[in-house]
Structure 1
């Protein structure tokens, strides 16, 4: 039995065609934007998003290819032999870009020296390909060229569609809903599609990955604005202490007041590798603070750190710290300290006990800090020591403590202003 070819593509093919077209243009613009992003957390977030969009394009393209192969579609428009060969070549190469672009990017990620877990849109883990290191450089070269090739092919594809439209041949209309039948309406729809495509390209190129867009909201527990000296080492073998949860009624009846962090604070760390001190810091972190020296039972501290914002002065080392071997920011993007109790330890000095959640591990942590309150303003500074292996940070080849010490020092300073109650 012979199946008659339809006048238009199926609704599924039409939806996939336009979705992939816009995503592909957006992805090309995004790829160009990544080249200009500064090393650090913004670039890391940009590449994670780029990978997510790429895998989405790959999956949609495979579905589109299956629809093309197994569903009836309109006959090719008759034209000169050269034009038909060019149209066929452009279509075939577009599929190569749509599928080859994400696959070469997947190979690059899978063969990188520093392996970072790919999390699709920060939610779904995506595996690496089982390919050798020898594929890395060829994939990188080809992946970089496919963006430019894709733009050229899309330009030829659009030009061909407009060429047939001006000849009053219904080519564009076949990839539009059946309600769009008149030549004029199809022409307007084509102009709108071109404008949307250019907009998608520009949107990808201008998409911002500034720190303000990437901060993970702190957990909503009150905390103390303390100038602190987090100095006590973590007791990883001690039983886990319960997290303090302060109800709204308790806070309202207590004298402890909330504080707001001011810009300019610093949260840093120091690790020792082969006898050399490696220093780094986090550019994005926040704290929820409720504190009053006269109401320590009503005071509390909650700190959230965006681990992808780590900076140590070496981009390759920063990538390694974000990788699965250390922070594994793909699956554990933040670290959180929540106090359970605060007590005085001398004039202007305090001890906060609580838990630190890092790399999926929650362990007790004691923080010692000093604080200076002057009216509605406060300053704090301090340091701490914790054992990285207790949190599973730097295991496998990095578990030997003769090279990379287990103890990691933390130091910070901050300023805060009292909020009106």
Structure 2
């Protein structure tokens, strides 16, 4: 069989890559929808969901490429002896496959964009990141719809998605069965169109393809490139997300920004200095970190951009004061999906409220190097009273401060639409503040 009687290298590569993706999606979808409801498997199911979404978008993109390639590169003709009904069934199956390969990812995208968990019948806003490499936005206009409309869309999209998944199972079975019939019964060489190492059948009798590829090496190069892209994406998906620890030493600190900040922090009300000694924060040796649980697994994170103004003297607690301003868009957990969700309207919503602010209202000595700061914390439009226990140690004009507290995210009105009961994200969020500062001249 000559090269003109086979599909091109690009078409073959696209066919098998999409086939592997589809075959992986079916058992993945069945398992994760049940596993996400079980506490022991919830964390793994959450990650599988993210991989499932990423593969879906890969299928969508590759299908578009495959359709364009198919329209511009004519494939091998069917055997001359094929019955008319068989030819009709073959063409119909191909059209159905293309339709499903477009409709399945699109209905999944609509479901995610609606932000509603059908299994629990409640709002659940989750961001999408393509294999952790870059964010995938929701479909435009869906987030602005009323809650009732989004709920209806979610149920309709998931119903269609599930029905078409079963349709894909049936089509795959028919497609494989037909291919084996042509190879083992008819022996007409049809399977060798898409499997390069197979020899043509004894009763081939094919019509030559009208447009043989004019540049086979270019096509092979494109095919190899597609395989490489999929391999890299798979490697990225398989890697564990890096979860930076809360216990960060000076050498381990990921260089969060404090005063002076390297990025702009939105304008706040002017700060009236305290009468106690002023301190300049060492950015590289200071950090604001947070921790909690998500989908049954612990997570840890940090804010990379923040600034602070501090006046503190153990002998002048009445004149001591601290104001910390955090850029909430800089929250990092090492999980791109978590980070994307934190940017959502029911979490930090930094597009509207770019900063959170903590300002002390008083200090109290607890004995030794232990102190307590009372203050107010504002996140978005909610302000809550806060008590921060901390230690203060000074040597040679350099002070080390270590403070820890727990915040109730429900009191801060964070994630209350999707997870008011704390089934997904813990209600209590631990916060650790480590500051190294030098006494101002």
TM-score, scaled relative to structure 2: 0.50
> CA, structure 1 residues 84+414, in 2 after alignment: closer, same or farther (shift >3 Å)?
farther
The structure showing larger relative contact order (alpha-carbon pairs under 8 Å, at least 6 residues apart) is: 1
Match of 2:258 among 222, 247, 250: 222
Once the two structures are superposed, residues 220-277 of structure 1 have per-residue CA deviations (whole angstroms, 9 ceiling, x without a partner) of 97379xxxxxxxxxxxxxxxx974699xxxxxx96233255679x652389xxxxxxx
Q: How many residues in Structure 1 have an aligned counterpart in Structure 2?
A: 334
Match of 1:122 among 126, 132, 136: 136
Give runs of aligned pairs for residues 61-140 of structure 1, distance below 5 A.
64=68, 68=71, 77=77, 79-82=79-82, 93-104=93-104, 110=111, 112-114=118-120, 116=124, 121-125=135-139, 128=153, 131=156, 138-140=163-165
Aligned to 1:257: 282
In the alignment, does 2:374 pair up with 1:369? no
Q: Distance in 1 between matches of 2:436 and 2:105?
A: 49
Secondary structure, counterpart of 2:416 in structure 1: coil
Match of 2:51 among 42, 46, 51: 46
> What is the aligned-residue RMSD (CA, Å)?
6.2
| Offset, 1:363 | 2.7
In the alignment, does 2:358 pair up with 1:353? no
Once the two structures are superposed, residues 43-95 of structure 1 have per-residue CA deviations (whole angstroms, 9 ceiling, x without a partner) of 4543443444445456667x749x94xx9x75964754349998986665454
Is the 1:33–1:205 contact (alpha carbons within 8 Å) kept by the matching residues of 2?
Answer: no
In the alignment, does 2:300 pair up with 1:300? no
Is the 1:306–1:334 contact (alpha carbons within 8 Å) kept by the matching residues of 2?
Answer: no
Give runs of aligned pairs for residues 336-415 of structure 1, distance below 5 A.
338-339=356-357, 341-347=359-365, 348-357=371-380, 362-374=381-393, 378-385=401-408, 387=410, 390=413, 393-394=416-417, 410-414=428-432
Aligned to 2:231: 202
Q: Distance in 1 between matches of 2:301 and 2:17?
A: 30
Q: Distance in 2 between matches of 1:173 and 1:161?
A: 22
Is the 2:21–2:55 contact (alpha carbons within 8 Å) kept by the matching residues of 1?
Answer: yes
> CA, structure 1 residues 156+279, in 2 after alignment: closer, same or farther (shift >3 Å)?
closer
Is the 1:370–1:381 contact (alpha carbons within 8 Å) kept by the matching residues of 2?
Answer: yes
Give runs of aligned pairs for residues 282-321 of structure 1, distance below 5 A.
282-288=299-305, 290=307, 292=310, 294=312, 299-302=323-326, 305=331
Stretch moving more, 94-103 or 108-117: 108-117
| Offset, 1:203 | 3.2
> CA, structure 1 residues 351+44, in 2 after alignment: closer, same or farther (shift >3 Å)?
farther
Give runs of aligned pairs for residues 2-41 of structure 1, distance below 5 A.
24=18, 27-28=21-22, 31=25, 39=44
Aligned to 1:211: 241
Is the 1:377–1:417 contact (alpha carbons within 8 Å) kept by the matching residues of 2?
Answer: yes
Q: Distance in 1 between matches of 2:59 and 2:96?
A: 14
Secondary structure, counterpart of 1:159 in structure 2: coil
Gaps of 5+ in 1: 1-7, 9-13, 225-240, 247-252, 271-277, 311-318
> CA, structure 1 residues 340+105, in 2 after alignment: closer, same or farther (shift >3 Å)?
same
Aligned to 2:37: none
Q: Distance in 2 between matches of 1:85 and 1:189?
A: 37
Q: Distance in 2 between matches of 1:132 and 1:245?
A: 50
Stretch moving more, 138-147 or 16-25: 16-25
Q: Distance in 2 between matches of 1:64 and 1:201?
A: 19
> CA, structure 1 residues 244+353, in 2 after alignment: closer, same or farther (shift >3 Å)?
farther
Once the two structures are superposed, residues 85-134 of structure 1 have per-residue CA deviations (whole angstroms, 9 ceiling, x without a partner) of 98986665454334314434555674842565687743242654663876
Is the 1:351–1:366 contact (alpha carbons within 8 Å) kept by the matching residues of 2?
Answer: yes
Q: Distance in 2 between matches of 1:377 and 1:40?
A: 41
Q: Distance in 2 between matches of 1:145 and 1:353?
A: 60
